Amino acid sequence: MIHILAGGKKQKGEYYWLIEDYQKKCRAPYDFDFTFYEEDKLAKLLEKWPFPEDAFVIVADERGEELYSPGFAKLLQDEFTASRKVYIVIGGPFGVSSEARERANFVWSFSKLVFPHMIARLIVSEQIYRANEIARGSGYHHA
């Protein structure tokens, strides 16, 4: 399972049903869950770096590395093969601290653009689902 820590509140907004749909379609080890934190609480939590020693931590940040979907799928598959727990952190409106970015195993940029939180959550959800489908060899990813 992939654990996603997200800054902000769980919102039942316009993209929520799409995120839920991707969650329902993903199968282990690509299944995922969200834990939501107020921005200041997430920042304090990240200062303590609560992740297990064998975790692979991805931080979503515009200053990170961009990946094509097959590259993201391979990144996840490699970590699952190594039996590592995968965590994805989506910071609050101002992102995460430079210390958190430095401690992460991978800093992932969706684009050079900046997105609202619900869209960032949707992008992460869809890319996990796409990685699941790439691993299965389905026709969902047709590049």
State mean pLDDT over 71-79: 98
In this prediction, residue 92 has a pLDDT band, given cuts at 50, 70 and 90, of confident
Structural domain span for residue 129: 2-136
DSSP SS3 for 3 = strand
pLDDT at 27 over 90: yes
User: What is the rounded average pLDDT of the residues 22-37?
Assistant: 96
- What is the pTM assigned to this prediction? 0.94
**Average pLDDT in the 6-29 region?**
89
Q: Give the C-alpha separation, 26 to 39, whole Å.
A: 28
Q: What are the tens digits of pLDDT across the range 126-136?
A: 999 999 999 99
**Domain CATH number, residue 22:** 3.40.1280.10
Q: What is the mean pLDDT of residues 117-127?
A: 94
- Per the domain annotation, does 69 fall within a domain? yes
Tally of domains in the chain: 1
